[in-house]
Structure 1
């Protein structure tokens, strides 16, 4: 089963490094596991070159079979739960760090609305972990930072938050906005990628293309580490622009968040759930129906 999970990750990413990050493992053992699977099946599954990875005909044929097997195994926990569940079941909804209070309010409304049938409890985690939790059946629903590409999951966009640059306040005193040119002398710093959605890799690439070349990597698991470096006057980071965002709790005295005139990225949050669990007659059909109604109108901040 693990070898099939490894194969699907590489097949979907077509990049061993990205697949390894997704699986929370090193690239070398992942490559060895794929070789083990190829040896066991007697088929070459990937064509590997220095610059690209492609599925062979055998790999292309295996992918839907592997997904079907994994989906069947992943469904065992919730199918078993369905078989023995009480009239009022406890279900988990995943919540990533820094969720906007307006989204939290909608989660609260959902908890109230479904209280007679479901006891909905919140479960924290990174977006990647929450996506895995929904796919594996441990979580009924999750809010997660997009993009999320998984054919087994349905994703509803629920909020778009504009990002700004967290910069040293003394350096940009009396400024209400800045430009990318203003950032070229500062180092871009972000929390580790395993704590961030993949979208932040695109932001990093866009900043690099615009001439913002300096980087500082820190080990803090949240924005607090970045705030410390920014307050010294040598760095900047990208974070939610809205004053209501919980991310602003990490701001220090010499840190201010300003819009970037020629760069307007936004972080999108989605509500996701398994399609098969939300189908008519499935265990989460009622919960998902209520969630669709409460999260029907996407928000922005």
Structure 2
């Protein structure tokens, strides 16, 4: 028995008509019928019930059909499976991603993934900005998007995005308003999440608010920002977050929460792409990927 016998059998089993199967195989019906008889003789079973008007599979033929299809599929897959087995494996590299990355910046990451497809497999890895920066420094990550500032002379930092921040406030208290002032926020508590869950820049915001008279604080231990939204929705507090309505951070916003610009305070959260200088320089293992990243992220996105 050879592969041709199985191909002939499957063609007849699928058509249940010798003439149609022969046309499909680009051969005459008579030699096709003879090949099927040869297969039946070799296996010791009749595979088809033949009458003047129809052809049907016997129980043996029905049992053989899935086996024959499986064998033929495996044989047909040999060329690409062999190609997969012998081609050089691409390195898998990781790019760190903090929470709340804006869709426009995510699109740049997708462009980088596509641009690097021939030289590496670039995958995303989540984490806080501080942890991601440490992972790049230690070599566990190839690169990362992080919220600036980051101070590490070993790292090359490319500013890639600036996002204006506004005040997330109780909507009923500021109904119909297009903006707020710091004085109007003074009797609300500023809600702050743990330092290890927020970018270092928010420490600067906290210090500025304190210096202009916004003294009340509520500190919570929830790192997913949902706790802040609960407090704001209840009318007790406010926080600072991205103004852009496209920011994923707005997914945490509950009813009775609105984000408004602050007239006398215009902070902006800056995101950078960073990688080790020695790995990105000529001769470094990331020089090719870093060159593509510099090209894709050369223009700062402002929202």
TM-score normalised by the chain length of structure 1: 0.71
Residue 167 of structure 2 is matched in structure 1 by 165
Residue 294 of structure 1 is matched in structure 2 by 296
Displaced runs of 4 or more, over 2 A:
none
Q: Give, in angstroms, the shift of residue 190 of structure 1.
A: 1.8
Q: Give, in angstroms, the shift of residue 101 of structure 1.
A: 0.6
How many Å separate the matches in 2 of 1:112 and 1:188?
42
List aligned pairs for 1:1-301, cutoff 5 A: 88-301=90-303
How many Å separate the matches in 2 of 1:203 and 1:222?
19
Residue 28 of structure 1 is matched in structure 2 by none
What secondary structure, in the 3-state scheme, does the structure 2 residue paired with 1:172 have? coil
What secondary structure, in the 3-state scheme, does the structure 2 residue paired with 1:148 have? coil
- Deviation track 1:118-161 (CA, whole Å, cap 9, x = no partner) reads 10000000000000000000100100000011010000000000
How many Å separate the matches in 1 of 2:253 and 2:171?
11
How many Å separate the matches in 1 of 2:135 and 2:230?
32
Q: Higher Cα Rg: structure 1 or 2?
A: 2
Q: Give, in angstroms, the shift of residue 216 of structure 1.
A: 0.3
Q: Give, in angstroms, the shift of residue 220 of structure 1.
A: 0.7
- Give the superposed CA RMSD: 0.7
How many Å separate the matches in 1 of 2:287 and 2:276?
10
Q: Give, in angstroms, the shift of residue 223 of structure 1.
A: 1.4
How many Å separate the matches in 1 of 2:196 and 2:244?
24
Q: Give, in angstroms, the shift of residue 282 of structure 1.
A: 1.1
How many Å separate the matches in 2 of 1:224 and 1:101?
20
Q: How many residues align?
A: 216
Q: Give, in angstroms, the shift of residue 90 of structure 1.
A: 0.5
Residue 37 of structure 2 is matched in structure 1 by none
What secondary structure, in the 3-state scheme, does the structure 1 residue paired with 2:214 have? coil
**Does the aligned pair in 2 maintain the 1:188–1:216 contact within 8 Å?**
yes
Q: Give, in angstroms, the shift of residue 198 of structure 1.
A: 1.1
Q: Give, in angstroms, the shift of residue 279 of structure 1.
A: 1.1
Q: Give, in angstroms, the shift of residue 87 of structure 1.
A: 5.2
**Structure 2: which 5+ residue stretches go unaligned?**
1-87
What secondary structure, in the 3-state scheme, does the structure 1 residue paired with 2:157 have? strand
**Does the aligned pair in 2 maintain the 1:87–1:117 contact within 8 Å?**
no
Q: Give, in angstroms, the shift of residue 281 of structure 1.
A: 1.3
**Does the aligned pair in 2 maintain the 1:178–1:260 contact within 8 Å?**
yes
What secondary structure, in the 3-state scheme, does the structure 2 residue paired with 1:160 have? strand
Q: Give, in angstroms, the shift of residue 192 of structure 1.
A: 1.0
Q: Give, in angstroms, the shift of residue 269 of structure 1.
A: 0.1
